[in-house]
Amino acid sequence: MHFAAFLQPEIKAYIEQLSTHNDPLLAEMEAVAAQRNFPIIGPVVGRFLYQITLIRKATRIFELGSGYGYSTMWFAKAVHRLGGGEIHHTDGDRRNSEQAQEYFRRAGLLDLVRFHVGDAIEVLHQTPGPFDLLYMDIDKHQYPDAFPAIRDKLAPGGVLIVDNMLWFGRVVDKEDTAASTVGIRRFTQMVWADPEFFTTLVPLRDGFTISVRL
């Protein structure tokens, strides 16, 4: 649950304080992330996902990269509040998928989630669209490869949210030529240049972009 390095510690603490919740299952999932050193979006961005789902009234959601379901849980809570729908959870590790299924069973939200084990981009290609909202948090070098599938599956007026778009400041380090950093830069150029998408970068946590399909 890292924050962008440029935020002052007092500002980070203030945002975290405003983002506290009293959900014991989410708290358990956050504790698991801390124990496993597993990257999750945390409650700051989780609240944003929940809010955008309600604003868009998104009842068909696809996640590219879901881990053990933390972000999926925020989506599912919002979709449940909207009266129902479906969220597609994808992960390459069957153990993460099985752990996520247990969390959703305990939350009473299992019927809202469709679980896929495999490459998220391929699963998106194979899953009938359109979707109201797409969320991406896969290996960063894959970001550009995902864009054609995203364009094919996102409904007009749909929302695309992409995580780690500041990449802990590495995107502005001209000497950083790692595949992950290059992938984020390329994807950023692609989505900003596409006339069908209007995109904004939000500098919370590690930065995420939100795009609307025009």
Mean pLDDT of 149-169: 97
pLDDT tens figures, 29-79: 999 999 999 999 999 999 999 999 999 999 999 999 999 999 999 999 999
- d(CA 141, CA 145) in angstroms, rounded, equals 8
Mean pLDDT of 177-189: 98
Range with lowest mean pLDDT among 13-22, 112-121, 141-150: 13-22
Query: Beta-strand (E) ranges in 86-153?
Result: 86-91, 113-117, 131-136
Question: Token pair 């050193």 is at which residue?
Answer: 37
| pTM, two decimal places | 0.95
CATH architecture of 9-213: 3-Layer(aba) Sandwich (3.40)
pLDDT tens figures, 123-132: 999 999 999 9
Going by the DSSP 8-state scheme, the letter that residue 92 receives in this structure is S
Per-state percent for the chain, helix, strand, coil, to nearest 5: 50, 20, 30
198's enclosing H/E stretch is strand 197-202
The pLDDT of residue 1 is 41
Residue 71 backbone phi and psi in degrees, to 5 = -65, -35
Planar angle of CA 23, 71, 13, nearest 5 degrees: 65
Give the mean pLDDT of the chain. 96
The pLDDT of residue 41 is 95
Nearest to 160 by CA among 90, 63, 88, 54: 63
